[in-house]
């Protein structure tokens, strides 16, 4: 009887995972969420950097030719 009670006492005291399985599951889910969020943030950062580098590596577009006339020239031609 003494051996049986000692065995039961040890079995109950050594089961560390059975005292709070809900908390453990919640912690694992939270850490999984953090890992997923970190991966998504790194992916967004990588895409942003790629887009920014792509923009800076493109040659600049030539300026558009503007047909600029002095205001007096346009005023005299519209009066005629």
Whether residue 69 lies inside any domain: the answer is no
Structural domain range at position 37? 21-51
**How many folded domains does the chain comprise?**
1
Whether residue 25 lies inside any domain: the answer is yes
Whether residue 56 lies inside any domain: the answer is no
User: Considering the entire predicted model, what is its pTM?
Assistant: 0.41
Whether residue 80 lies inside any domain: the answer is no
Q: Check whether 73 has a pLDDT greater than 60.
A: no
Whether residue 79 lies inside any domain: the answer is no
Question: What is the per-residue burial (b if ≥16 Cβ within 10 Å, else e) of 9-34?
Answer: eeeeeeeeeeeeeeeeeeeeeeeeee
Whether residue 31 lies inside any domain: the answer is yes
Q: pLDDT, tens digit, for every residue of 4-63?
A: 888 887 777 775 555 567 788 889 999 999 999 999 999 999 999 888 887 777 666 666
**Nearest to residue 51, comparing CAs of 40, 43, 41?**
43
């Amino acid at each position: 009887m003494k051996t049986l009670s000692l065995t039961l006492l040890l079995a109950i005291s050594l089961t560390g995972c059975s005292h709070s399985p809900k908390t453990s599951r919640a912690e694992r889910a939270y850490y999984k969420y953090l890992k997923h969020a970190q991966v998504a943030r790194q992916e967004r950062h990588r895409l942003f950097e790629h887009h920014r580098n792509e923009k800076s590596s493109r040659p600049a577009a030539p300026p558009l030719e503007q047909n600029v006339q002095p205001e007096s020239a346009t005023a005299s031609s519209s009066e005629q």
